[in-house]
Structure 1
Amino acid sequence: MPRLSRHQAGLRMITPTNELERQLQAAAAENARLRDRQNATAEILRTIAASPSDARPVFEAIASSSKRLLGGFSATVLQFIGDELHLVAFTPASPEADEGLKSSFPRRIEDFPTFALVRGGETIQFPDAEAEDVPELNRNLARLRGFRSVLFMPLMNRGTAAGMISVTRAETGAFAPDLVQLLQTFADQAVIAIENANLFNETKETLERQTATADILKVMAASPSDVQPVFDAIAANANRLIGGYSTAVLRYIDGAAHLAAFTPGDPEGDRVLQASFPVPFAQFPAFQLTANGESVQLPDAELEPAARGVARARGFRSMLFTPLMSEGEAKGVIIATRRTTGAFAEHHVRLLQMFADQAVIAVKNVSLFNQVQTRTIELARSLDDLRAAQDRLIQTEKLASLGQLTAGIAHEIKNPLNFVNNFAALSTELMDELSEALAPIRLEDDVRGEVDELTGMLKDNLQKVVQHGKRADSIVKNMLLHSREGGGEHRLSEVNMLVEESLNLAYHGARAEQPQFDVTLKREFDPAAGSAEVFPQEITRVLLNLVSNGFYAVAKRQARADASYEPIVTATTRDRGDAIEIRIRDNGTGIPDEVKAKMFNPFFTTKPAGEGTGLGLSMSHDIVVKQHGGTIDVATEPGQFTEFTIVLPRKSGFANGSG
């Protein structure tokens, strides 16, 4: 094998070294390029993190990094919104070119077939924008901006294009695969930014809805009996969250739409709105439009004559109507308005529907609350009636026990009392006989005088014993009546008939005692007074007592009045629905205030000794109030009149007639 020269050996040693250096330089350049890409990706991620609610700063960062890392002339980020393509970010070229770019958007996608292909998910390149196969609109845009080649990358989100990134270069030629892949990374990051912004805004919107719902629920809880504060809160919250100009809540009442609540605007517009309601359904198109329960939009109020006047006065252009549906029937409507024309977003329609549902719940809550309140009042009244009936029953049982005790006591007292009365009367007669027996006997004048004086004194004393004995007997009898159980049969009785019988009995009784007694009796009976469940004997006893007191008062006044005075006692009945009213009025002496305060107390009387026991009014009060659950009141003016008013319930609290 020939031997290599030293020079040849040196060449073989140098060549591997140069190759290694070249590879190291290439690796360093690649590392720098990768670091640059990683830094750009990291920067975009930081921008995404710093701007969770707005994707625009991310789009600007992506446009800048795409242009720089792809060696581009310019870069743009565009979004598909509906059927239009909107410019959201771009790298500047020249003022003229930049203005031309901005004025080219938004554009309908159908005007750019290339963009339609990108929207379908394709990545498209034009290595030479002047080539014949490039659409004319794209060629014109390239000339306007000053580029020759372009790369379009779709922003794909769950199989749907949300927009695209375009990168241009001043020279012709296709973009290398690794650059296409790099732009795909930026496209993915743009989609992440869009998703983040959507999620953030949706979360924010959801939180705002929840807050508004909580606010309205608080108002409902604080105003269970009044729906007005709820309507006010719904109008305010709906207007704020929809970004509306004004919002109104209307209720349907008796064939017309009534304004229930609204967000105020300018005073003149508010007056026009308020003057527009109530309005009959026939003149309110929204009633027919929303009767099926669906929301209806009016994108331009100028096109609807019925809405044009109030729209101009209030200053809005578009309207959204959402009905308040309850059990398949429209109970009202919420109307949201905006200053601009156009349709409301779907999520705003759903939001207003939520508020409409809350309004319906509020109306139902108030209705239920009022029903519960009414029922509670009825139950409380029933409970009071039951307690009153129980009290009357207890009182009746007490009176029964007291009656039994009183009957025994009266029996024990009456027997010796009868002996006292009888023997006092007999002794009086014996004193007369004694006087007759002593008359023929001759006695000294002084002795006869002393005998006559003693017999006279004894006779007077015996007469006083008889008088007070009879009064004691009367007191015992009245005590027995006052405390006795029941009063005969408890039954349905004609009140007018009871009053008439009582008047006649009292009048004839007074005439029997005093034949010269005369009084004018007036009757003002209400034919509708009808019947009531009472103890007729007890009510008759009350009426006899009141009428007799009236007779006593007019007789007392007549005794000291002139001849022009006419004694009058009037009996009146009135129908009071579930009760009957009885009035006994006299134009006698009246009752002083100090007597009126004590008149229903047992044993209190103003009559002279022997003429009254003081139990009549006390007994009457117990019969009317405690036994029958009624009321007895008195109105009087001393020297002018006295009027007793009795109110008896038609139905008593007794289950049967046992009392």
Structure 2
Amino acid sequence: RLLTETREALEQQTATAEVLQAINSSPGDLAPVFDAMLEKAARICQADSGFVFRLQDGLNRMVAAFGIPAEYKKFQTHNPIPLGRGTLAGRTVLERRAVHIVDAAADPEYTRAEAVQIGGQRTMLGVPLIREDALIGVITFGRSRVEPFTEKQIALVTTFADQAVIAIENARLLNELRQRTHDLEESLEYQTATSDVLKVISRSTFDLQPVLDTLCEMAGRLCGADLGGIATRQGDVYRFAATFGQSPDFDAVLRQQSHSPGRGSIIGRVLAEGRAVQIADLAADPDYAVPESVRIGKVRSNVGVPLIREGLPIGVIVLGRQRIEPFTERQIELVRTFADQAVIAIENTRLLGELKERTDALTRSVTELQALEEVLRAVNSSLDVDTVLATIIGRAVGLSQADEGTIYQFDDSEQVFVPKSAFGMSADRVAVLRERKIRLGETHLGRAAVARAPVYVNDVHQDPTMPGRGAGNVLEGIHAVLAVPLLRDDRVVGGLVIRRRRVGAFAPTIPTLLQTFAGQAVLAIENAGLFREAGRARAEAEAALADLRRAQDRLIHAEKMASLGQLTAGIAHEIKNPLNFVNNFAALSVELLDELKAAAEAVAALDADKRADIDETIAILTGNLDKIAEHGRRADNIVKNMLEHSRGVSGERRSVDISALVDEALNLAYHGTRAQDQSFNITMERDYAPALKPIEVAPQEMTRVFLNLFGNGFMRRRGAPGRAATDRSSRPWG
């Protein structure tokens, strides 16, 4: 007996050691542990079969079995054992202790007949698996014969149950550790992928394509997808902008498709519902209407996540598997993260694009304003139309990134366009332009003039309105042409044409800019015309001015002659009196001298009375001679004044008796008026200041002033005889 007990103890220790070795050699994998445990315990306890059940959702589910028929094992797998007294496992869970059924066939509470009928079990033993007072499962053993288990055997099974709990706990802890490690590795991978995406976003500020390519590839790799893509909004529909993992044929099909909200596609459903949508099996979905996904792409499971910006979808990220395997919620959440990054990338690209466009527009505007300022400065500072037009066409070609350009002026007489300035063209090409007579409606320039609007041809080689090209054709080698008419009040003045040799369209703002330049060209041409007209008008005005001056000189001469005639008439009357005095007194003096000669011999013998007569005669003669001298001087002054008047204005100043000057002018004016109108008569009263001292004046000018004053006064009073005019000019005046 002692030997038997020793052998049994050794066998138990050996079995326990083997189970522990199985636990250590299979960390986290319970199947080999449970298999070893059941086999060792069944052998030691002399059982024919054994099970390990895990309690899950109120049911005992078989996780390991030993020594049972395949049919019964299949039955146990598909029929979990509920809690209750009708089964060994259910009764053990309820009682939370070891349960021993001596004969299942004879037990009135036992209801699982398949254990007896299929499994061949009669005597049964069940021990609960308890961890920290929580029941986690049951280990059971059975015999195909009615033979109760001994207390020692029950204790041994209890020991194995404890080992099973340790194994389960170790596996749980190890699995949790592995899961945490996996989660950390996955999180690290996610963070690395996010960092990579952010790096791509930062490097590709203006280029969205690399970002979308990286996003969908990263999302697919991390989520275990076989293929995928990102669709973005393009107008009113959504199209794939980036794909990965597609075959060339399937990629071509995807990029040709357009999607709208609806249930016919994964993209349509996402757009319609505004949330993430998953289709477990495309082939089994009755609403899915894109058979190419299954037929060509071999896609079975699909998930789509919207790209949301400000509550509106701007795209969809789609991942697919070529097997039926739905994506987990964690994977879908990860796709949402990538979708958010895609939205950020799209928004950044949009904002940066708008900023770049605005910056470029501002730069263009500044450049255009500077060019316009240069053109305006040329227009305003130069009357040389060739210089101005050369500046305009040069700036127009530069700003439009063209290769050459020409400004034409329209010849109204011949109704043709004549080249006035060219830029970027050889002399031979300019000569060809001059030889060719472009009329309204011909070439791009003529059509622009007729339409009164710019004409733009992106490719002249595809322009059906242009004739065939021959040698010397000005459009040889030209790709694009833009023609702008020069208009003034809807009248064609000329045209501006720019040409580009390389492929590429002109910027949308160029036609408007060239219209502005065309307006300046019109101003330059008109300014040149106005300058020529102004030159002709100036020449004509100068000629007219010369004629006017000559006429004025003749008029002044005529006025002088008229004044001189009036003055001469007055002088003739004035000089008549002193001459009469001179003549009369001269004759009288001759007679007196004759008498004096006759009486000279007898003077000595004359008495006092006779000598008194002779003295009287001599005094008279002396007086006459004085009067003759006085009136001679008067006549001399009159003649002198007449000569000065006829010579024009004299600025010579000298000291004169102003009263005498006024009196002389009054007499000249009066007699001049009388000479013109014999019926004119007026009474003149003179009242000169006797003590007025001589003053320094220009006598001839003052005489003319007094003549005009007296003459105007006499003219106003002609026809009113007897009216007196009192001359007060000699009174104190300033």
TM-score (norm 1): 0.48
> Which structure: larger Rg?
2
Higher relative contact order (CA closer than 8 Å, sequence separation 6+): 1
TM-score, normalised with respect to structure 2: 0.44
